[in-house]
Amino acid sequence: MVTAPHLPQVPPFVRDTSHGKRSTYLDYTRSGQADRLHALVDEADVFVEGYRPHRLAAHGFGPEALAARRPGLVSVTVNCFGSGGPFADRAGWDQVAQAVTGMCDVQGRAAGAGRPALTPVYLCDFLTGFLGGFGAMVALARRARDGGSYRVEVSLCQAAMLVQRQGLLGGFARAEGRLRPDEFESYAVTDDATAYGDLKSLGPVIRMSETPPRWSTTTPALGSSPAVWLPRPDGALDEGPHQGLLHVGQESQ
């Protein structure tokens, strides 16, 4: 997870979405640090970025440039308005997507608020991340079968429209019984003395016999790791660049 000290962050987002990650600081606008980021890309399988449209491409980190440099890379781009239309080049964030897609109006009516209202959670942010992760896995599977480099693009507005096409679930605000306390405890992961204090989080709920989902580490402090890949557990360095996922953190979109 790559960001820079001067970029704004939302601490609850960092805390809740950083399990299992390592965090480093690099400023891609500085040549030496951009070179280090390129070096990380050279050993990556997936590159995820959520900057405003064309921002990274202007500095040599667009999907086409990265695929030419690192054949086989899967590039995941997260934006607000999608790849087409009059707003495609605009910045935006969760609340904007909820407003322009009418989700705020639907939520306000459903909640009886008498005015537009945001959903109880940052629905567009989280769902778009889930869709981007799914798209990356589909691309990796296709790469394993057919080879090639891939680009996955997801947007906050399209995620909002997907949710609205599924229809509404009544009584969501009173859904305490949907996950009983004992069920939560069966999946809970407790981490003591993290950078954010003691944390108890809902862990992966999918069970797999051969490859059980897990987090190898707790959520880190921002910038707490050097900008290098860790050695492989067996100490071997294979010839292909297969290190993992590189997430370049977003600025205020």
Condensed to tens digits (0 to 9), the pLDDT of residues 105-144 reads: 999 998 888 999 999 888 999 999 999 999 999 999 999 9
Confidence band (pLDDT; 50, 70, 90) for 239?
A: very low
Question: Whole-angstrom Cα distance, residue 191 to residue 194?
Answer: 7
State the pLDDT at residue 73: 97
Here the contacts of 25-33 (C-beta below 8 Å, separation 24 or greater) are 25/222, 25/223, 25/227, 26/2, 26/227, 28/4, 28/56, 28/59, 28/61, 28/248, 29/59, 33/227
- Extents of the domains making up the chain: 2-170+178-248
pTM of the model: 0.87
Please give the CATH topology (third level) of the domain spanning 2-170+178-248.
Answer: Rossmann fold (3.40.50)
State the pLDDT at residue 192: 86
Contact of 150 with 76, CB cutoff 8 Å: no
Structure confidence by residue, pLDDT tens digits, 135-144: 999 999 999 9
Bridge partners of 201, per DSSP, are 189
Question: Whole-angstrom Cα distance, residue 231 to residue 211?
Answer: 21
